[in-house]
Structure 1
Amino acid sequence: MNDKVEDSLNRKVAITRREHFNAAHRLHNPDWTEEKNKKVFGKCNNPNYHGHNYELEVKVIGYVQPETGYVIDTKILSDVIKDQITGRFDHKNLNLDVAEFKNLNPTAENIAMVTYDILREHLDQKLELKIKLYETPRNYVEFPL
């Protein structure tokens, strides 16, 4: 192997896949009064729910594999995201339709952490994983830091 190829295999590279899903939710703490929920969550506490067009960025960080030249095959990454996240969350009411949010307030922060936990189970543990979730074009969360 030449020095340039050897050097490239010893440096980490990040690859990011972007996906999209639409989902409704209600931010609500059942331990609080209706008044406190309205004060803290505002219009996001609408009893009839509200929706977002979420943009999801999944970043995988690792070493380039000499056999393929990939950190991870983007088709495999895309399939895992679609099977495990967008297929589960897209066009769903997160509070009612997604088991992970049965007892967890579906804030952007919690959606990002749940997404991370689900994907972490389906990716090689040698790969680092980072999630960026845009709830709006101006508001996003990242996990982990």
Structure 2
Amino acid sequence: MILLTRKAEFSAAHYYWNPAWSEEENLRRFGKCANRNGHGHNYTLEVTVAGEIDPATGFVVDLKQLKEVLEREVVSVYDHRHLNLEVPEFATAVPTTENIAIAVWKRLEGKIPGARLYRVRVYELPELFADYYGE
């Protein structure tokens, strides 16, 4: 088995808000990130797949197909969007770095031909990222 990682980038806005809490509690817990107008990030996504190397191609996965899947399933859906308002999975989940990583996993699982999804890493900032390895 070998691991291969591909990067992608997207820009998106979000805010942190739990509708079960009062405005005061949201502000206390999330600070300026609770501003309902949102704020943006330039996210970096790393998707790692696992598999065996095809002896005919030398690849674990068709790189063009992997790029197309990332574009179709994640980048085209998240890029230049307000996550809370425009992306269905965040209508009920706070779009934290952790929850974005889980949502990306769910979007990609079973859709990468010839390889198994191994890890999703989402960078919100260069010094802040979340890893998800599935259930």
Superposed pair shares fold, TM > 0.5: yes
Equivalent residues in 2 for 1:79-90 (5 A)? 79-90=68-79
Question: 1:130 aligned to 2:130?
Answer: no
Read off the aligned partner of 1:89 and give its amino acid letter.
Answer: Y
Listed as ranges, the gaps of 5+ residues in structure 1 are 1-11
CA–CA distance in structure 2, aligned partners of residues 135 and 55 of structure 1: 7
Listed as ranges, the gaps of 5+ residues in structure 2 are none
1:112 counterpart residue number: 101
Equivalent residues in 2 for 1:1-145 (5 A)? 12-124=1-113, 127-144=116-133
Read off the aligned partner of 1:19 and give its amino acid letter.
Answer: A
Using the TM superposition, give the Cα deviation of residue 144 of structure 1 relative to its aligned residue in structure 2, in angstroms.
Answer: 1.5
Using the TM superposition, give the Cα deviation of residue 126 of structure 1 relative to its aligned residue in structure 2, in angstroms.
Answer: 5.3
Q: How many residues were matched structurally?
A: 134
CA–CA distance in structure 1, aligned partners of residues 132 and 114 of structure 2: 16
Contact 2:15–2:35 under 8 Å retained in 1: yes
Using the TM superposition, give the Cα deviation of residue 73 of structure 1 relative to its aligned residue in structure 2, in angstroms.
Answer: 1.1
TM-score for both structures, normalised by structure 2: 0.94
Contact 1:56–1:132 under 8 Å retained in 2: yes
CA–CA distance in structure 1, aligned partners of residues 127 and 70 of structure 2: 23
Change (3 A) 1:125 1:44: farther
Contact 1:62–1:128 under 8 Å retained in 2: no
Q: Any idea what the Cα deviations from partners look like across 1:90-117, whole Å, max 9, x if unmatched?
A: 0000011111111111111000000001
CA–CA distance in structure 1, aligned partners of residues 29 and 49 of structure 2: 35
Kindly report structure 1 stretches of 4+ aligned residues shifted beyond 4 Å.
Answer: none
SS in 1 for 2:24: helix
Contact 2:61–2:113 under 8 Å retained in 1: no
TM-score for both structures, normalised by structure 1: 0.88
* Aligned CA-pair RMSD: 1.4
How many percent identity over aligned positions? 40
